[in-house]
Structure 1
Amino acid sequence: MSTAAALNGRAVGVKETMRGRLAGRRDACQRRRTEARAWYQARGIGELAALTARWLRGEMLWTPNGHVGGPDPETLPLVDVLADLNLAGILTETSQPGELAAFHGRPWRQRAYVTAFVADPALAQMLAAQAAAAGLVVRAYRPGRRVDENGERAAVDVTTWEGHGVMTGMGDRISPRAVRRTFPGCDRQAVREVTRAWQVTLIDPEWGRDTLLWPFLGLFINSRTAQTG
């Protein structure tokens, strides 16, 4: 092959690569617009929860609060139970598995937890009561209340890193402003329903354990499905 032919072939290859990248970007932009429209068109907390379930299962790439490309790797083993919670009317907000590890050579500890919004008061109270009976730490806030059902209001440590102290605390009340920041661009009425929902956080009291919270939630969902089905 001549030098000219080789250079021409290389140029063609570069053009095809650029075209492929541009097409990929156009497709990504189109998908983002489509998914943003779906979030905007959600007309209640139930529809927001259904979209969250789709995102957890990889059927959507985008969420209003900036998560792109699906859940974090540590969340992947929890996808099924989290998606089922959302489809049961329990809108999950954040979660993490239990873990004992090392980060930059120093011990890293996590407690398993999940935070959710529940519009149905009976469902919220049932979830909180059964979780407490199972041995989980529970923070359950009625709409508009600044203290939970047991008079607690402080966050519970859920992530620590030796030498740096507490990295994350969960279980304190989420303000309406923070809720609105979580769902930017969504329908106002839908977001208002979230701000008026119960806030329930469930935390495993034992560091690193991953065998209490998630099995409990699976049993809770299955029991509720049996009752309502």
Structure 2
Amino acid sequence: MSRTDRRRWKSARTVADLGDLMARWLEGEIASRPGYAARYGPDEETAHLVPTLAALCRAGYITTCSQPGLAGTGVDGLWWEQRAAVDGVVTDPELLHRLVVAATEAGMLVRTNDYRPGSADQEQPVIATTRDGEPTAAFGGRISRADMAIQWPGLDRGLYDQVAHGAYVSIVAPEYGPTGERLWVLLDQITGLRPAPDPEDDPWSAEPPWHTHGALEPEPGECTLCGAPIHHRGPYCTKACEEADADDTAVYN
């Protein structure tokens, strides 16, 4: 690492400083980063993930490792499969909560290894890469104290203490291959890089699609057609709903 880059990383005092430097390294503005080969940027396979990862770093989720969802024949002639996955450290409890809740609700596999004082939260890794069906890589394993020092050399002592006692969060798509790339859409929505879809337009939302609402069983006191509260006797809130439902019945019968 050049002396200029060493000074950059050493001058960082806050997690926000660190996140901005990591984002600038991802974007190619800085040649080297701690814990990675000097004068090397992100791996070529993750080039399309740079905007997502940079936004995460600037939001406070300092990513340290990631891979896209892939499936295909490798250079060795064997079949390789990858789950889209990302590792990183979070020191902000509110951001940690948002990440874990959003990822879990979207069906992602989440592992949290919490190094904050007094925490006993340590979880097992998730297999993220296979070669002819045999596991070759995992995300979410516990980081030892020695590995932590290797991952973050050259930081200010106070900043190192913050990241070494943060929560290391791994988020892994449940699917192998390109389908798991939905992980990056979710993370972009968390950082605001992409707008969050309305529930009815989100294929992974727990909210039923709009076109199925009419088929749902109404709650007591709700209109059979539109679900509005009923303030009189009968199954419909208005005559219009009754007539519309009769028209639908006529069409499908």
TM-score class, shorter: 0.7 to 0.9
1:124 & 1:225 partners in 2: Cα distance? Answer: 20
Amino acid paired to 2:44 = P
Identity over aligned pairs, percent: 37
- Out of 73, 84, 94, the residue aligned to residue 44 of structure 2 is 73
Mapped contact 2:69–2:83 kept (Cα < 8 A): yes
Structure 1 or 2: more helix by fraction = 1
Offset of 1:41 from its aligned partner? Answer: 1.2
| Unaligned runs of at least 5 residues, structure 1 | 1-28
Higher normalized contact order (CA 8 Å, seq sep 6+, divided by chain length): 1
Alignment of 1:58-97 (within 5 A): 58-67=28-37, 68-97=39-68
Query: Which runs of structure 1 show a deviation greater than 3 angstroms over 4 or more consecutive aligned residues?
Result: 144-148, 223-226
Alignment of 1:33-112 (within 5 A): 33-67=3-37, 68-103=39-74, 104-112=76-84
> Secondary structure of the residue that 2:36 maps to in structure 1?
coil
The TM-score, its normalising length taken from structure 1, stands at 0.77
2:59 & 2:77 partners in 1: Cα distance? Answer: 41
1:77 & 1:119 partners in 2: Cα distance? Answer: 26
What is the alpha-carbon root mean square deviation over aligned residues?
2.1
Mapped contact 2:115–2:166 kept (Cα < 8 A): yes
Please state if 1:212 is matched with 2:182: yes
User: How many residues are aligned here?
Assistant: 191
Mapped contact 1:179–1:194 kept (Cα < 8 A): no
Mapped contact 2:125–2:139 kept (Cα < 8 A): yes
Distance 1:39 1:223, change over 3 A: closer
In structure 2, the residue matched to 1:176 is 145
Offset of 1:172 from its aligned partner? Answer: 1.9
| Unaligned runs of at least 5 residues, structure 2 | 197-253
> Secondary structure of the residue that 1:111 maps to in structure 2?
strand
- Out of 120, 125, 146, the residue aligned to residue 92 of structure 2 is 120
Distance 1:225 1:121, change over 3 A: farther
Mapped contact 1:154–1:171 kept (Cα < 8 A): yes
